[in-house]
Amino acid sequence: MAMNLEQVLATAKDGSSVHITLVSNQNNGIASYADGSLIFHPQSGGTEFGGPPLRPAHMESASPMKMYFSDRRLSIDPVPAGGFAPTPRQPFNANATEALSVSVAMTASDHKTINVSIKVFGNTVKFTMDRIGDLYAGVGPSLSQSSGAVFVLAFTGVSQLQIIH
């Protein structure tokens, strides 16, 4: 179940893992899916004249997530006796993923817009996403031969850092 950003900010502490799901769809029918965790860092600076500049609360990947694509198919059907291998038909082949890094930065205090940066295929692209209910949606980069992609991000939970003494 998705959390809204206010719930994330009320729950997360510095170093917490914020779990997300990020999906995309393009006008050529290719969709993508990724889920994983971002490390939370609270707002800092900006409180003293001449002190460190204001840095809004932000979250970033500690390690890359796996991004799955609907056009990367896996053969799941047995080869008929004496026949040829059937055409692969299972989309989102788990053996053909791409590494995805994500960062999310808050913009305004009303949390209606967030700045998102994704790194996939070796390229980093920034775009904004707007709040729709408990989800964020925005037009981002094309992930194939398309004019762009619609991305949807859900915050799906927060895990606190466990300190063992």
Per-residue pLDDT at 60: 96
DSSP assignment letter at 9? H
Write out pLDDT tens, residues 107-164: 867 789 999 999 999 999 999 999 999 999 999 988 888 788 999 999 999 998 655 4
Cα separation of 71 and 78, whole Å? Answer: 20
Segment 70-95 shows an average pLDDT of 86
Per-residue pLDDT at 52: 62
Domains located in the chain, CATH noted: 5-77+85-159 (2.40.128.120)
Cα separation of 46 and 121, whole Å? Answer: 35
Per-residue pLDDT at 56: 80
Per-residue pLDDT at 115: 94
* Residue 165 in this model has a pLDDT that exceeds 60: no
Reported confidence tier of residue 14, pLDDT bands at 50, 70, 90: very high
Per-residue pLDDT at 55: 73
Cα separation of 154 and 5, whole Å? Answer: 9
Cα separation of 84 and 2, whole Å? Answer: 44
Between 23 and 1, the higher pLDDT residue: 23
Between 55 and 68, the higher pLDDT residue: 68
Per-residue pLDDT at 54: 67
Instruction: Give per-residue burial for 47-67: e unless 16+ CB within 10 Å, then b.
Output: eeeeeeeeebbbbebeebbeb
Segment 71-92 shows an average pLDDT of 85
Q: Which of 156, 142, 125 has its CA nearest to residue 24?
A: 142
Sequence-ordered list of residues with C-beta below 8 angstroms from that of 38, at least 6 positions apart, any chain: 17, 18, 20, 59, 60, 61, 62, 102, 103, 104
Per-residue pLDDT at 118: 96
Indicate the residue type of 40: F
Segment 67-86 shows an average pLDDT of 86
CA 10 to chain centre: 20
